[in-house]
């Protein structure tokens, strides 16, 4: 386990600050018991966010707001947050363990249900997902339990020296938390649409509802500690579509203020300390050149974000100054416009910066503003925002962005709707060129001879919730209106050739093919790997895992020949984790999934394969395998469709859990 390092300097009596190795420690003597007047530095890009007053986390700004705050021994009273103790470290982990345990028990319950007594409601209906009880969450949203979320902690800690296992563990917790956030967000919008009617659906703020529900359930991360520095489980380059998501994972604790900090009134040293900032380009005096950043303090703006009075050295401004004084790093999150998101913006975590200078200046408006010079700390992974820009240039002109290394600009030869690039700037290997590109899996004729083929729905103008194909999916489509996977299932029935619905039907998602520009690339760590030049949204379809299907008997022959076979049954069933709400709603009735035939075929990828074949193995993958049927109805032979388990930034490697590692060769399920 790593260690949690408190700021002993700050936790000592204020007089100790003069002994700090800081050049201006003696010059700036903080006033005792300073209670800042708070003016959140509002971010212009977020002005659309309607912040429901009653649902906002009222942490440091309104310390007395939380009447239902349950005193918890884990939350050290401020006066006791003095020296480092092992219990502080335990507390950080206990928070994760507590949330992790919530997930674990939920999954255990599901597995029990999945493999326990299951029944097919009507064997002839082919509805292998019976319509369970109404899983609507509206009742829960309406009758919310009394708030019991604790006040945000005032203990400043830094989490350091996490081992590989710890990093994986925390990454898993963050991912599950975000997955849950997304599932809740989508479900609550659908729910709102259902209750208020289609036309009003757009106003539903799933992002706010989801965060509010999660806060009520105590599922926000890092509320029991104020972490300075990196947040365990959050990587440089991680992308967020909503401000509230930043709060949920604890990256930036304020829903609107651009500077997050521990106020003086809560600080044991009586000095405010800044922990993170959001740079949205909304301040006319900000200058951003990536590694170096001139950040403008907050305050003095009117409601149109125009500077109309001088800023003061108080609140977040003072906190940044104090952080500079103590040499404390701050997390930098950049927000920028992105047409492909629901809110037209996106946030990227760019890592840790140190404040090197602070001065009072006359801004462009003619009013006085505080300015801070921040420099990015060396040795961190490349900034997400610069990768983002690079990916953009690759999409428009790959050869001028990367003159060397491209072996092919589309190895699919137009078999995919989007190009699949092949890039290697490491060695002379060009192996992927030796295979015939196969965009879709080839099934044996027996798959198409199934008795139930030839049936489909009659929805000429698009499918409705009560159509035949909806029934096959248990009365609920697997996708939302934007084509994102709502809930993983043992098998999804998309509309097919025998349906009368148009190609734009919401129940035709994975059959539409690849929508992002993918790139197979050579890496020193993983051999060949796959990444996307586009941002892939959590829940979005990526591509099929294609190959030539072999029956069990055929596979035996191939195995003797030592050819490359994929065994779909070995893929870890990550779909089970997608869209699971049971950890939120104890009374959530999970649809029971009657057993479907186990995947009992192999896929030969020895001569023909597609881009998916080059995805790397990971036990914490960012891509899941979801079985789908659409061109035939034979349950034995589903397509293996790949969906994103998280928002995958451009150029980040895609990974799958192949499930079984062959102990003889160490190779993954491409073995024998």
Q: Given the rule CB under 5 A, which of 105-113, 367-375, 402-410, 487-495 is the region that contacts Zn ion?
A: 487-495
Separation of alpha carbons 435 and 595, rounded Å: 36
Q: Could you say whether residue 318 binds Zn ion (CB under 5 A)? A: no
CB of 206 to Zn ion, least distance (A): 25
DSSP string for 31-60: PTT--PPP---B-GGGTT----GGGS---T
Token reading at 52 = 């429901």
How far is CA 234 from its chain centroid?
Answer: 9
Q: Could you say whether residue 328 binds Zn ion (CB under 5 A)? A: no
CB of 549 to Zn ion, least distance (A): 24
CB of 541 to Zn ion, least distance (A): 17
Cα of first residue to Cα of last residue in the chain, in angstroms, is: 37
Unique residue bearing structure tokens 């991360």: 221
Q: Could you say whether residue 495 binds Zn ion (CB under 5 A)? A: yes
Separation of alpha carbons 178 and 646, rounded Å: 8
SS3 626: strand
530 in Cβ contact with 634 (< 8 Å): no
CB of 450 to Zn ion, least distance (A): 17
Quick one: 176 or 506, whose CB is closer to Zn ion? 506
Separation of alpha carbons 386 and 440, rounded Å: 35
Quick one: 501 or 520, whose CB is closer to Zn ion? 501
261 in Cβ contact with 154 (< 8 Å): no
Quick one: 41 or 508, whose CB is closer to Zn ion? 508
Quick one: 56 or 494, whose CB is closer to Zn ion? 494
Quick one: 246 or 457, whose CB is closer to Zn ion? 457
Residue from 141, 231, 421, 499 in contact with Zn ion (CB under 5 A): 499
Quick one: 369 or 495, whose CB is closer to Zn ion? 495
Interface positions, 456-475, toward Zn ion (CB under 5 A):
457, 459, 463, 467, 469
CB of 403 to Zn ion, least distance (A): 48
Quick one: 381 or 462, whose CB is closer to Zn ion? 462
Quick one: 374 or 457, whose CB is closer to Zn ion? 457
Cβ count near 188 (within 10 Å): 23
Interface positions, 408-467, toward Zn ion (CB under 5 A):
457, 459, 463, 467
CB of 639 to Zn ion, least distance (A): 16
HSE of 100, CA atoms in CB hemisphere, 13 A: 16
Q: Could you say whether residue 183 binds Zn ion (CB under 5 A)? A: no
CB of 468 to Zn ion, least distance (A): 6
CB of 501 to Zn ion, least distance (A): 5
Query: What is the DSSP-derived secondary structure letter of residue 161?
Result: -
Tell me the site size for Zn ion, rule CB under 5 A. Answer: 8
Q: Could you say whether residue 629 binds Zn ion (CB under 5 A)? A: no
Token reading at 347 = 């946030």
**335-344 own/partner pairs: CB under 8 Å, 24+ apart:** 335/43, 335/45, 335/46, 335/278, 335/279, 335/280, 335/281, 336/280, 336/281, 336/385, 337/45, 338/535, 340/535, 340/537, 341/241, 342/207, 342/241, 343/48, 343/49, 343/207, 343/241, 343/242
Quick one: 209 or 492, whose CB is closer to Zn ion? 492
CB of 53 to Zn ion, least distance (A): 43
Q: Which residues bind Zn ion (CB under 5 A)?
A: 457, 459, 463, 467, 469, 495, 499, 501
């Amino acid at each position: 386990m790593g260690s949690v390092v408190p700021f002993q300097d700050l936790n000592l009596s204020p007089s100790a600050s003069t002994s700090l190795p800081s050049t201006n420690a003696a010059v700036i003597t903080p006033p005792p018991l300073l209670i800042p007047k708070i003016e959140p530095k509002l971010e212009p890009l977020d002005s659309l966010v309607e912040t429901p007053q009653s649902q906002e986390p009222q942490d440091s700004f309104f310390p007395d707001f939380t009447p239902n705050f349950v005193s918890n021994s884990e939350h050290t009273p401020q006066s006791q947050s003095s020296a480092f103790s092992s219990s502080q470290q335990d507390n950080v982990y206990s928070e994760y363990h507590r949330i992790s345990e919530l997930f674990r028990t939920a999954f255990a319950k599901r597995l029990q249900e999945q493999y326990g007594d299951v029944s097919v409601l009507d064997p002839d209906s082919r509805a292998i997902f019976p319509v369970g009880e109404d899983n609507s969450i509206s009742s829960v949203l309406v009758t919310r339990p009394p708030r019991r979320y604790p006040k945000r902690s005032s203990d400043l800690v830094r989490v350091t020296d996490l081992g590989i296992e710890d990093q994986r563990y925390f990454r898993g917790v963050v991912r599950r938390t975000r997955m849950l956030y997304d599932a809740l967000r989508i479900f609550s919008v659908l729910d709102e649409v259902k209750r208020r009617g289609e036309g009003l659906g757009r106003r539903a703020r799933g992002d706010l509802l989801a965060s509010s529900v999660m806060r009520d359930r105590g599922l926000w991360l890092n509320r029991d500690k104020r972490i300075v520095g990196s947040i365990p489980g959050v990587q440089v380059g991680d992308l967020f579509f909503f401000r509230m998501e930043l709060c949920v994972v604890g990256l930036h604790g304020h829903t609107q203020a651009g500077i997050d900090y521990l106020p003086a009134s809560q600080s044991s040293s009586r000095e405010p300390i800044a922990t993170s900032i959001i740079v949205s380009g909304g301040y006319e005096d900000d200058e951003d050149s990536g590694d170096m950043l001139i950040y403008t303090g907050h305050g003095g703006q009117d409601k149109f974000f125009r500077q109309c009075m001088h800023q003061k050295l108080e609140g977040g401004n003072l906190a940044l100054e104090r952080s500079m004084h103590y040499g404390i790093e701050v997390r930098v999150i950049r927000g920028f416009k992105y047409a492909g998101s629901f809110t037209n913006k996106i946030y990227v975590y760019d890592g840790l910066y140190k404040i090197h200078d602070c001065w009072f200046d006359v801004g462009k408006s003619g009013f006085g503003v505080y300015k801070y010079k921040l420099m990015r700390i060396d040795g961190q992974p490349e900034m997400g925002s610069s990768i983002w820009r690079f990916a953009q240039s690759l999409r428009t002109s790959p050869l001028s962005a990367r003159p060397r290394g491209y072996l092919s600009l589309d190895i699919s030869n137009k078999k995919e709707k989007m190009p699949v690039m092949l890039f290697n700037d490491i060695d002379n290997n060009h192996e992927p060129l030796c295979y015939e590109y196969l965009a879709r899996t080839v099934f044996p004729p027996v798959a198409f001879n199934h008795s139930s083929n030839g049936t489909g729905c009659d929805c000429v103008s698009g499918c409705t919730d009560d159509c035949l194909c909806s029934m096959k999916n248990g009365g609920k489509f697997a996708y939302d209106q934007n084509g994102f996977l709502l809930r993983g299932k043992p098998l999804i029935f998309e509309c097919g050739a025998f349906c009368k619905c148009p190609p734009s039907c919401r129940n035709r998602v994975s059959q539409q093919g690849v929508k992002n520009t993918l790139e197979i690339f050579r890496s020193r760590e993983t051999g060949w790997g796959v990444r996307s030049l586009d941002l892939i949204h959590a829940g979005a379809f990526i591509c099929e895992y294609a190959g030539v299907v072999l029956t069990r008997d055929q596979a035996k022959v191939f195995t003797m020949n030592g050819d490359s076979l994929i065994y779909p049954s070995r893929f870890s069933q990550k779909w089970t984790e997608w869209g699971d709400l049971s950890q939120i709603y104890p009374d959530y009735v999970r649809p029971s999934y009657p057993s479907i035939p186990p995947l009992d075929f192999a896929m030969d990828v020895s001569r023909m394969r597609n881009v998916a074949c080059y995805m790397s193995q990971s036990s914490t993958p960012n891509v899941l395998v979801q079985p789908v049927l659409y061109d035939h109805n034979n349950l034995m032979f589903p397509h293996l469709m790949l969906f994103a388990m998280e928002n995958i930034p451009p150029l980040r490697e895609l990974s799958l859990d192949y499930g079984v590692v062959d102990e003889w060769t160490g190779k993954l399920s491409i073995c024998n």
